[in-house]
């Protein structure tokens, strides 16, 4: 390619990228999902919101709190280094000052363990375990796949004592964060309707999943709050070709037609910019596209969101709310990498690059 043609191509690329990012700034939602900080990182996180996230016009933070809060309703479930209520109020204040909506999250139904470690809920209340006979492996010995099909434990959604506790946590955390929505996780649920569970064995898994979604949604609706969730269990792994992680191969996908349409779907795909946000919008749900660590995928998801809103009728267009970037380690680790990437590899730095690329500051970095 000759020099003039090369320069023309570079100019066109720069112009296209600038145009894309300019349009992206107009998306209704420009969000980040990140683990809530531990108590010793709270002040630093408040400053990070003020100095780094707000200038990027981020207007949504989904904070994965789980048990990192000083719960008063069930103090036995709080982690060893929980956020205090005064610390949460500082996060609320800086978010409000910068027009950032806060949505707290507790992983519900699935993700009740990780490798050899049981989560707080099942540690304190082992009677809620959907699969009590399946034991976690010794530390350092977990492997996938395994004969038990163990990825993460689930709680039994039909245990009679479960929801009194879960609802108390939801009420307390949404009140603390002064939130009008709650994210329940609900992703990667592999154990549901399991043969070991005396209450759920043999039941329709889509009905069980939808029943739990409805219970959570109905509880939140009593106080005018939205339920948010990840969308993978509502996609058919076989039909979509997405596999058992990004979609469901245990029949929960049929729940998409059994749950209220005011549930907000966070549609995560990390390898390709799948077209599934359109599917959820056509089903009647508000949806967010969720990237992670590949800038090229995030850019494609951004283009899709813009194009969908531009080329759809107003009712359909409004259902695609925008982008929710995701990060799956600690807030401390994210801030460390953001401030000083060092010699971290591309996969580790990917989420930082995604943040910088799709949510740039007004002044070039």
Q: Which of 263, 269, 229, 261 is nearest to 245 (CA)?
A: 269
Per-residue model confidence as pLDDT tens for the chain (365 residues): 566 666 665 565 454 455 566 677 789 999 999 999 999 999 999 999 999 999 999 999 999 999 999 999 999 999 999 999 999 999 999 999 999 999 999 999 999 999 999 999 999 999 999 999 999 999 999 999 999 999 999 999 999 999 999 999 999 999 999 999 999 999 999 999 999 999 999 999 999 999 999 999 999 999 999 999 999 999 999 999 999 999 999 999 999 999 999 999 999 999 999 999 999 999 999 999 999 999 999 999 999 999 999 999 999 999 999 999 999 999 999 999 999 999 999 999 999 999 999 999 987 66
Q: Look at residue 146 in the predicted model and tell me its pLDDT.
A: 98
Q: Which residues contact 204 (CB under 8 A, 6 or more apart)?
A: 193, 251
Structure tokens at 99: 């027009």
Check if 188 is active-site: yes
- Catalytic, out of 172, 188, 212, 274: 188
């Amino acid at each position: 390619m000759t020099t003039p043609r090369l320069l023309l191509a570079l100019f066109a690329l720069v112009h296209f990228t600038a145009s894309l990012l300019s349009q992206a700034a107009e998306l209704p939602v420009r969000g980040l999902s990140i683990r809530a900080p531990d108590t010793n990182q709270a002040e630093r996180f408040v400053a990070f919101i003020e100095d780094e996230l707000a200038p990027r016009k981020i207007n949504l933070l989904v904070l994965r709190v789980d048990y990192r809060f000083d719960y008063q309703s069930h103090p036995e479930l709080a982690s060893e280094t929980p956020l205090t209520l005064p610390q949460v109020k500082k996060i609320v204040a800086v978010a409000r000052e910068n027009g950032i909506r806060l949505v707290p999250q507790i992983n519900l139904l699935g993700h009740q363990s990780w490798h050899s470690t049981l989560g707080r809920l099942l540690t304190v209340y082992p009677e809620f375990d959907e699969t009590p006979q399946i034991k976690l492996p010794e530390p350092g010995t977990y492997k996938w796949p395994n004969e038990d099909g163990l990825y993460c434990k689930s709680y039994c959604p039909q245990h009679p004592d479960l929801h009194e506790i879960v609802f108390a946590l939801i009420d307390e955390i949404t009140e603390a964060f002064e939130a009008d929505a709650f994210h329940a996780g609900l992703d990667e649920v592999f154990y549901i309707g399991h043969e070991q569970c005396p209450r759920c064995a043999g039941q329709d898994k889509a009905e069980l999943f939808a029943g739990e979604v409805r219970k959570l949604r109905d509880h939140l609706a009593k106080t005018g709050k939205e339920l948010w969730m990840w969308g993978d269990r509502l996609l058919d792994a076989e039909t979509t070709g997405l596999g058992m992680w990004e979609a469901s191969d245990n029949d929960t996908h049929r729940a998409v037609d059994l749950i209220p349409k005011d549930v907000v779907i966070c549609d995560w795909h990390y390898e390709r910019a799948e077209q599934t946000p359109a599917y959820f919008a056509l089903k009647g749900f508000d949806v967010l596209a969720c990237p992670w660590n590949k800038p090229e995928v995030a850019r494609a998801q951004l283009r899709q969101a813009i194009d969908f809103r531009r080329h759809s009728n107003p009712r359909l267009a409004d259902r695609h709310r925008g982008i929710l970037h995701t990060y799956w380690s600690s807030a401390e680790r994210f801030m460390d990498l953001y401030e000083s990437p060092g010699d971290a590899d591309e996969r580790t730095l990917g989420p930082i690059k995604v943040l910088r690329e799709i949510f740039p500051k007004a002044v070039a970095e």
